[in-house]
A and B are shown apart, each in its own frame.
Chain A
Amino acid sequence: MIPELGRAAVLLGLAACSVGAVTGMWAGKTGREDVWRWTRWMALAFMISIAVATGLMEYALITHDYSVKYVAEVGSNETPLAFTIVSLWSSLDGSILLWALILAIWAAVFAVKLKDSHPEHAPWALGSILLVGVFFTFLVSGIANPFERVPSPLDNGPGPNPLLQNHILMIVHPPTLYLGYVGMTVPFGMGCAALLSGRMPTSWARAMRRWMLVPWACLTVGIILGGWWSYEVLGWGGYWAWDPVENASFMPWLTATAFIHSSMVMERREHLKGWTITLVMATFLLTLLGTFMTRSGVFNSVHSFTQSPIGPVFLGYLGVMLVVSVLLLAARVDTLSPPTAKLEGPWSRDMAFLGNNLLFAAFTFTVLLGTVYPLLNEVMTDVQISVGEPYFNRMSVPICLGILFLMGVGPALPWGRATFSTLVSRLAVPSGLAVAIAIGCVATGLREWVAILTFALSGFAGAVTLRELTEPGRQRASKLGEPLLSALMQTWRTGHRRAGGYVVHFGVVMIAVAIAASSVYRSETEMTIREGKTKSFMGYDITYTGTERLDEPHRWSRVARFDIDKDGENLGQAEPRLNHYKKMNQSIGTPTVMSGLDEDLYLSLVQVDPEGKMASLSVVVEPLVIWLWAGGGVMLLGCVIAGWPTRRRREDAA
């Protein structure tokens, strides 16, 4: 029964979404309130239908209903419940269903939130969002139908991909990433609305920015969680490998970040409207490109789903959306009101934002080129090659340093033209700090210029950020005689958007330092230890105490135990393991990571002899890795502060 019910729910969703897309456009064109109301109802019906379909799929997974094709592909009686639930996104068809669900939720939230506001734009926007929903629901109803009935169902299945059931982060990483990815459809719809209506008032620009901020925060967290998952699971002690699918999530993040900055120029100076809308559209199109990369089988990646017939259909859709976006931009961008003020330069915040946008655009292009170059080379010369870390690192390091520099310069500069004395007064201390850090690094024996420059520029950007974050509070305290802390809190409360932005910058600084330190000063070795013996590496004494076999319904594991001491102090026991998944005939390691504020000790089991007398392991010591994850948390905190609803926003909405 589930296959038929699920399919019916998806078809209902498709119908609701299609009707809503048409009525949304109609309401936008005519301004009719009754048609707009229908559009909103259709968005809710879309959401309810797809939620029911997803609920049915989860029910089928949990009850091991192997008459449902998707359950037969990824289900297994032995898989633990948590991983059975999340196997919804462990394979192609289920992940598209999740995509449709998240899009439906975004559309419904948008319909409810903008019920009574922005009547000129909201219907166009919701119509555009639902139009995207039509495509994804169409996929779920046809070519990627997870509800197909299996004619002669078996009584067990293979279970999900072992890599996806090896760590708890798999439960949160994909949905968070999807929330960000799919959420980019909303600002895209809003950009379409601005173009279709030919107007881009400040209130709409502000709303667009806010609707971008939430998916941007989700994408940020999703990417960092992905890095964390890779670090905790893949066993090589790294968190980023410039894999095509990693790049696919990074590119829209870059253009979305550029948008968040350029939208400030648009809001403040009525400038860069066309460019800002282009960024919104590019962000959405890059999410489609990323989805295509993961699902087409054209790109080779650890993240890829297997080859499927969905590829050509998806490429067709990507092509159509590209053409529609370009035509819409070309036809309507000149109808947006021209700028009211000139961008001042060269020493102004306007120009710093412009520079930052150019760097983000260059970064996106660099990553795109490196990602598609192997394919380009193969098409042109019939030779398949791999563009790996050296290309990406060589190209991205100068761009990242440039962005870090502008992250310090931009906020220090005023809008409009800055005088030389302003420049000196605002940049003298941060520049001095940067020089002091560089000298300190060299004096302590560091010689790697990339790391030194990163630390120095991070100090520079961090000092400017701290100054900008506290300056209004300090001024208020001295003017009104308030205690500093309450003055700071007051200014952060009233200027929470600004404060949140600077908190995000702090997170970026933490991440920059962590990446530089952990990649440049990483040490690794391989060692084989006899039972009861100790070997040392980078100050750690590693004693092999024995091995044990653990049996679980879905896998058996070889757990090796090591006592870890540093400077005579026992840090505890490390238990890296090798898991053997019975259904997949595949062994996957689970490393042990002992994190400290200064460095991580990363142990990955390579081999244990059959009697358990000798264990070979890979040992990595990486400094400051924990600050990368913490930086992600700080960025999320900044987003929450910046996006916190305020009275002015509610007035805006009204």
Chain B
Amino acid sequence: MNWRVLIAGAVVTVPLVSLLAAGFGRDPKLRSNALEGRDAPSFSLRTIDGEPFSLADAKGSPVVVNFWSTWCQPCKIEHPVLMDAAEAYGPAGVHFVAVIYQDDVSKVRAYLNRAGSHWPTLEDPGGRTAIAYGVAGVPETFFIDKDGVIVRKVSGPVSQPIMVTTLEEML
């Protein structure tokens, strides 16, 4: 018996099969609470059209900050939910903001022209805002209340019920 081969094989096999087994029955819309209850990191960025946007200017209103990219399939699944929510809750005073995560502006612009958007889309040079928010992957959405506190962070695409419940709580 070649023990080196056996050990190397076990090192690959056991974690891989365990991981795949753990993948069954998982809810893909689980959320993390790490940043909830803290002040939202401030940021001042420019939109893809060159307009300035600062989180501080939106203080006093609920804000939804969505980190996304065009290469992310779950983001595209989420897009219609954001569109509906922005249409329904925008007039009620909720600000929707999208921050581009590791993507080309040209691709973003092309996608938004096709899919539409009711919110400013911000460039994030060097990913500094994503780092400040601890974004590990996209999509991630932060719900910030009128006082600038993160009340909920959703990793993965936000579902319609979670979107509606959270916005109703914030208003």
Tell me how far the C-beta of A244 lies from the nearest C-beta in chain B, rounded to whole angstroms.
10
Known contacts being A374-B137, A379-B26, is A274 close to B5, with CB within 8 Å? yes
Instruction: Confirm or deny: B19 has a beta carbon within 8 angstroms of a beta carbon on chain A.
Output: yes
Q: Whole-angstrom distance between the alpha carbons of A296 and B17 in the complex?
A: 13
Q: Whole-angstrom distance between the alpha carbons of A526 and B113 in the complex?
A: 7
Flag the segment in A96-104, A312-320, A419-427, A470-478 that touches B. Answer: A312-320
Q: Whole-angstrom distance between the alpha carbons of A390 and B70 in the complex?
A: 11
Listed by A's residue number, 30 A-B pairs whose Cβ atoms lie within 8 Å are: A296-B20, A296-B23, A298-B24, A299-B23, A301-B73, A315-B20, A315-B24, A319-B17, A322-B9, A322-B12, A325-B9, A326-B10, A326-B13, A327-B6, A330-B5, A374-B137, A378-B30, A379-B26, A382-B31, A382-B32, A383-B30, A385-B137, A386-B71, A386-B137, A388-B138, A524-B106, A524-B107, A526-B114, A618-B110, A618-B114
Instruction: Confirm or deny: A323 has a beta carbon within 8 angstroms of a beta carbon on chain B.
Output: yes
Q: Whole-angstrom distance between the alpha carbons of A526 and B138 in the complex?
A: 25
Known contacts being A322-B16, A372-B19, A379-B26, is A385 close to B155, with CB within 8 Å? yes
The 9 closest A-B pairs by CB, nearest first: A385-B137, A326-B9, A388-B71, A384-B156, A298-B23, A330-B6, A526-B113, A383-B155, A389-B71
Chain B residues whose CB sits within 8 angstroms of the CB of A377 once the complex forms? 136-137
Residues A386 and B138 in contact, CB atoms below 8 Å apart: yes
Instruction: Confirm or deny: B165 has a beta carbon within 8 angstroms of a beta carbon on chain A.
Output: no
Instruction: Confirm or deny: A152 has a beta carbon within 8 angstroms of a beta carbon on chain B.
Output: no
Instruction: Confirm or deny: B21 has a beta carbon within 8 angstroms of a beta carbon on chain A.
Output: yes
Q: Whole-angstrom distance between the alpha carbons of A312 and B13 in the complex?
A: 16
Tell me how far the C-beta of A65 lies from the nearest C-beta in chain B, rounded to whole angstroms.
34
Instruction: Give residues of chain A (294-320) contacting chain B, Cβ–Cβ below 8 Å.
Output: 296, 298-302, 311-312, 315, 318-319
Residues A385 and B110 in contact, CB atoms below 8 Å apart: no
B72: which of A331, A334, A386 is its contact (CB, 8 Å)? A386
Q: Whole-angstrom distance between the alpha carbons of A387 and B139 in the complex?
A: 11
Instruction: Confirm or deny: A594 has a beta carbon within 8 angstroms of a beta carbon on chain B.
Output: no
Tell me how far the C-beta of B66 lies from the nearest C-beta in chain A, rounded to whole angstroms.
13
Instruction: Give residues of chain A (359-381) contacting chain B, Cβ–Cβ below 8 Å.
Output: 372, 374-379, 381
Chain B residues whose CB sits within 8 angstroms of the CB of A376 once the complex forms? 19
Instruction: Give residues of chain B (127-159) contacting chain A, Cβ–Cβ below 8 Å.
Output: 136-140, 155-156
Chain A residues whose CB sits within 8 angstroms of the CB of B31 once the complex forms? 382-383
Q: Whole-angstrom distance between the alpha carbons of A381 and B12 in the complex?
A: 21
Tell me how far the C-beta of B100 lies from the nearest C-beta in chain A, rounded to whole angstroms.
12
Chain A residues whose CB sits within 8 angstroms of the CB of B113 once the complex forms? 526, 606, 618
* Number of inter-chain CB pairs below 8 Å: 130
Residues B13 and A323 in contact, CB atoms below 8 Å apart: yes
Instruction: Give residues of chain A (334-359) contacting chain B, Cβ–Cβ below 8 Å.
Output: 334
Instruction: Confirm or deny: A241 has a beta carbon within 8 angstroms of a beta carbon on chain B.
Output: yes
Q: Whole-angstrom distance between the alpha carbons of A526 and B108 in the complex?
A: 12
Residues A333 and B2 in contact, CB atoms below 8 Å apart: yes
Instruction: Confirm or deny: A525 has a beta carbon within 8 angstroms of a beta carbon on chain B.
Output: yes
Tell me how far the C-beta of A600 lies from the nearest C-beta in chain B, rounded to whole angstroms.
17
Q: Whole-angstrom distance between the alpha carbons of A384 and B9 in the complex?
A: 28
Instruction: Give residues of chain B (13-59) contacting chain A, Cβ–Cβ below 8 Å.
Output: 13, 16-17, 19-24, 26, 28-32
Chain B residues whose CB sits within 8 angstroms of the CB of A574 once the complex forms? none
Residues B1 and A331 in contact, CB atoms below 8 Å apart: yes
Chain B residues whose CB sits within 8 angstroms of the CB of A384 once the complex forms? 28-30, 74, 137, 155-156
Instruction: Confirm or deny: A329 has a beta carbon within 8 angstroms of a beta carbon on chain B.
Output: yes
Tell me how far the C-beta of A306 lies from the nearest C-beta in chain B, rounded to whole angstroms.
14
- For the A-B complex with A318-B20, A322-B16, A330-B2 known, give 14 more contacts whose Cβ atoms are closer than 8 Å: A292-B20, A319-B13, A326-B10, A327-B9, A330-B9, A376-B19, A379-B19, A383-B155, A384-B28, A386-B72, A386-B138, A524-B106, A526-B110, A526-B113
B24: which of A312, A326, A381 is its contact (CB, 8 Å)? A312
B22: which of A301, A319, A379 is its contact (CB, 8 Å)? A379
Chain B residues whose CB sits within 8 angstroms of the CB of A525 once the complex forms? 110
Tell me how far the C-beta of A631 lies from the nearest C-beta in chain B, rounded to whole angstroms.
24
Known contacts being A311-B24, A386-B75, A525-B110, is A330 close to B1, with CB within 8 Å? yes
B102: which of A301, A375, A381, A390 is its contact (CB, 8 Å)? A390
Q: Whole-angstrom distance between the alpha carbons of A380 and B140 in the complex?
A: 17
Nearest-neighbor residue (CB-CB) of B114 within chain A: A606
Q: Whole-angstrom distance between the alpha carbons of A372 and B109 in the complex?
A: 30
Chain B residues whose CB sits within 8 angstroms of the CB of A301 once the complex forms? 73
Residues B28 and A383 in contact, CB atoms below 8 Å apart: no
Residues B156 and A326 in contact, CB atoms below 8 Å apart: no
Residues B138 and A330 in contact, CB atoms below 8 Å apart: no
Q: Whole-angstrom distance between the alpha carbons of A617 and B138 in the complex?
A: 28
Nearest-neighbor residue (CB-CB) of A376 within chain B: B19
B88-99 vs A, Cβ < 8 Å mask (1 yes, 0 no) = 000000000000
Chain B residues whose CB sits within 8 angstroms of the CB of A386 once the complex forms? 71-75, 137-139
Tell me how far the C-beta of B20 lies from the nearest C-beta in chain A, rounded to whole angstroms.
6
Instruction: Confirm or deny: B121 has a beta carbon within 8 angstroms of a beta carbon on chain A.
Output: no
Tell me how far the C-beta of A370 lies from the nearest C-beta in chain B, rounded to whole angstroms.
11
Residues B71 and A385 in contact, CB atoms below 8 Å apart: no
Tell me how far the C-beta of A286 lies from the nearest C-beta in chain B, rounded to whole angstroms.
11
B23: which of A330, A375, A381, A389 is its contact (CB, 8 Å)? A375
Known contacts being A315-B17, A372-B16, is A379 close to B32, with CB within 8 Å? no
Tell me how far the C-beta of A387 lies from the nearest C-beta in chain B, rounded to whole angstroms.
7
Chain B residues whose CB sits within 8 angstroms of the CB of A390 once the complex forms? 71, 102-103
Tell me how far the C-beta of B104 lies from the nearest C-beta in chain A, rounded to whole angstroms.
10
Chain A residues whose CB sits within 8 angstroms of the CB of B139 once the complex forms? 386
